Chains A and B, each alone.
Chain A
């Protein structure tokens, strides 16, 4: 059996483990078929390999990172994140299971507008497993089209907002609002509901901004004091708190900032719609899984061990 065949066999074994666990078949592995269907039991690695396994897991899928951050001994390994796009705050993350978030509206809203807004919220479901569905009652996601600008609470924070307050504001949206604004604004705010912060606050993008020029610009146009500019534009996110990727200025989560405030004079272009990298990232952290195959809560797994001389290095290269 060559290496590729061995890796294929291993992958098939893992798929079988996941399927059997989902079907509730937890028995010791027994190659014999006596007594009924063959079942497999997932095994855990020996303790000395936990840190290495965490590094590999983070490398293979950034969604693994938040579960490993508390483990101090992993340290830099947990910060090894594959270059991709956008980010999700780990503390606002909904979790990897597919879920449907109920949506209601704070004011009487025409049915066609409600449907259109929700369809744009669901644009992320092209790749992501979190969907939005209207409810006649009070939704987990509560949308207002009244005054207050455009905003959304981040990720799971929406569950903590008093039920008589909106979790998302889409000021002035009507059926006459251009489709481009539905794509730019509604999908952006939906990204916040999924836990994504502002992409323009990523370290590498903030580093492109001339601080004094930003202060002058936003004082002139907005009347903002330096503290407000710092909070809105110049304070980068703690990259350790993100499941993330190198910053992407065309992400739907990135605002547009003019070249007049950047060090190199080039604008931060901002995103006007969910781009391919946004879709790919959301698909990784909120995978779409077929019904019935969602993994149950993990129970304690029996551990296996072998001589340390047999430990191998994971092949992290893409095929």
Chain B
């Protein structure tokens, strides 16, 4: 069964993160790239976290995307970069390697 792995901050992450096929990775970030291993991991996109308000409508705040989502698809190695900070005033890019195995 795939796992939804929420990663709030890039601080404290190991240089290589062990994940499994079917995992969904959600980073608190404004953007991201797949640097290597595009067949192993797919960048689903950048999203704005939203809520269902008391009006029963989906409400989104004003601001840049604050979540990027990857789907782990095949075993192997992949390298991704995560963009945090403000897209308009200064960002920080952090690279992360993923070691992908089949779920036990």
Residue numbers of A with Cβ under 8 A of B are 146-154, 157, 159-162, 165, 167-169, 184, 192, 197-198, 218, 221-225, 228, 232, 255-257, 270
The size bracket of the interface on B is 20 to 34
Considering the complex of A and B, which 5 residue pairs feature the smallest CB-CB distances, nearest first?
A151-B63, A222-B31, A160-B53, A151-B61, A255-B88
B76 CB within 8 Å of chain A: no
Q: Are A257 and B88 in contact (CB under 8 A)?
A: yes
- Are B66 and A148 within 8 A (Cβ)? yes
- Interface hits, B23-64 → A, CB 8 Å: 28, 30-33, 43, 45-46, 48-49, 51, 53-55, 57, 59-64
Q: Which of A160, A169, A218, A221 contacts B55 (CB 8 A)?
A: A160
Q: Any chain A CB within 8 A of the CB of B94?
A: no
Q: How long is the Cα–Cα vector from A224 to B45 in the complex, in angstroms?
A: 7
Contact between B59 and A147, CB atoms less than 8 A apart: no
A228-B55 contact, Cβ under 8 Å, with A222-B83, A223-B32, A270-B88: no
**Smallest CB gap from B66: residue in A:** A149
Q: In chain B, what residue has the closest Cβ to A254? A: B88
Q: B residues bordering A, Cβ < 8 Å?
A: 8-9, 28, 30-33, 43, 45-46, 48-49, 51, 53-55, 57, 59-66, 68, 81, 83-84, 86-89, 91
* A147–B9 touching, CB < 8 Å: yes
Q: Which residues in B have their C-beta under 8 angstroms from that of A146?
A: 8
Closest to A201 in B: B62
Q: Please name 11 further chain A to chain B contacts, defined as beta carbons within 8 Å, in addition to the given A148-B66, A151-B64, A228-B45, sorted by A numbering.
A: A146-B8, A147-B8, A153-B59, A157-B53, A160-B53, A160-B55, A221-B91, A222-B31, A223-B43, A223-B81, A225-B45
| B31, closest chain A residue (CB) | A222
CA distance A169 to B61 in the complex (A): 10
Q: Please name all residues of chain A whose beta carbon is closer than 8 Å to the beta carbon of B64 when the two chains form the complex.
A: 149, 151, 232
